[in-house]
Amino acid sequence: MSTVATAFGIEKALQQLGIQEINYGTSTGSQWFPGEGMIPSYTPVDGSLIGKVTTTSKEEYEQVMQTAVEAFQSWRLMPAPQRGEIVRQFGEALRRLKEPLGKLVSYEMGKSYQEGLGEVQEMIDICDFAVGLSRQLHGLTMHSERPGHRMYEQYHPLGVVGIISAFNFPVAVWSWNTALAWICGDVCVWKPSEKAPLCGIACQKIAAQVFSDNNLPEGISCLINGDYNVGEYMTHDARIPLISATGSIRMGKIVAQAVAARLGKSLLELGGNNAIIVTPDADIKMTVIGAVFGAVGTCGQRCTSTRRLIIHESIYDQVKTALVDAYKQLRIGNPLDQHNHVGPLIDTDAVALYQKALQQVVAEGGKLIVEGGVLEGEGYESGCYVKPAIAEAQNSFEIVQHETFAPVLYLLKYSGGVENAIALQNGVVQGLSSAIMTNNLREAERFLSHAGSDCGIANVNIGTSGAEIGGAFGGEKETGGGRESGSDAWKVYMRRQTNTINYTTELPLAQGIKFDL
């Protein structure tokens, strides 16, 4: 264990979570399978090895699926409020283990400890939301055109839900899906990111203990591990009616095609190219806080990170100067140290993409006003620490049109009315999160109108990141169109059924059709 890990109490946290040097990566609950390969997990904090996870073989995957399909037969028959009680207990277990799990998230992924704790709190919050929802899985009652008939609709569980999650939120996004799926009567098979596999092991152990304590069958919560090949087991499996996948647009298109080929359903949460519009009526102080946190929080590795700042020409220089001054105050280093603002990128591959983006924006005619670069020396031995950068650019630049999963912020200038800024905001293929900074009511309402932001999330006077679990989370266009977490996102985990009941002795047909025998 490294000096950093020892100082932060990582060893104790791993013990509390049941993490070993080598961990089986395939599970149906309390039963674990040995696997065939090995995934090492290196922390980007200092580059040291945390532990290893075995990968899932094809034969083990079949065992997992058989167990999950069988578990669904009994789990779906348990009344939803009773399923809610199980999710409540899972939330309580998360409360007890919030500190060690938050430390593991921070250490394995590289986000700040406060963000690690915040991610576990999101898990707790979605459990609370799901418990209340377990008594509200409602349908509708409709009037029939035929006398003596009643129509209504109801929702039934789908079956096995496959979850493919990304490294940047290694536990929260899984919980958004699984807490709702469990409430709805589904069972779950989860493939966590191979860049943060130990977080998946920890969550599975916590859930398995809850199910075991309640004498529930194996297969309600399942775990598999491996690269994209293991993910393809699920995407091509007709026994899984819904695949929820979080990741890049490239990955999402592959998943969508595979699932659509078998007429399954996909819930996709893909890339974001999120912008904040800054109008002449904006509060500059609020703007700078929102933009800086959105751009550098989690080292720019949130799907909702701020990538573009669209600033009116009349205040462009003022905002630019304020941002440059703010970036001078950023402290980059060990994310476990709460005095630091920015931690590392996930790995050296991400660093290479960051460097390529900076080179490309200059090659396309942009100008770096806050130079980036890779940090070296004491405290930066992992090679994953980079300087947040700011570039003046054009929305039409190819690099600006793509999502760079790193702390690179592009400044774009607009003139005229807010409709011109909205056109720039919408002028990318992604459609996840967006924001406008203004104290002008007309501008705010225009931004939120049918002619406004085309994103799934549109905020006024807050940044692009920091979504709450009470609202449905997701985006449009090449972000995938999926919705997770709050509101009525639960419906995607269920199948809708329309029912008509005839309580007469006659059999009238709809639309007045006559069929006499």
Q: Which residues are the active-site residues? A: 269, 303
Q: What is the CA radius of gyration of the chain?
A: 25
Distance from the Cα of residue 367 to its chain's centroid: 32
The Cα–Cα gap between 353 and 363 comes to: 15
What is the Cα 51 distance to its own chain's centre? Answer: 24
- Which residue matches tokens 């029912």? 499
List beta partners, residue 278: 311, 437
Q: What is the DSSP letter of 170?
A: T
d(CA 333, CA 338): 10
Which one-letter DSSP state was computed for residue 33? E
Q: How far apart are the first and last CA of the chain?
A: 83
Phi, psi angles (nearest 5°) of residue 148: 75, 20
Buried b (16+ CB within 10 A) or exposed e, 232-260: ebbbebeebbbbbbbbebebbebbbebbe
Strands (E) located in 315-407: 367-370, 389-392
* Short-list 475, 447, 479, CA closest to 461: 447
Q: From residue 415, how far is each of 262, 347, 422, 460 by CA, in Å?
A: 48, 39, 11, 20
State whether the Cα torsion 74-76-79-82 is positive or negative. Answer: positive
Q: Are 504 and 148 in contact (CB under 8 A)?
A: yes
What is 455-485 written as a DSSP string?
SSEEEESS-S----TTSEE--EETT----EE
- From residue 487, alpha-carbon distances to 72, 91, 183, 385, 474 in Å are 25, 19, 14, 37, 12
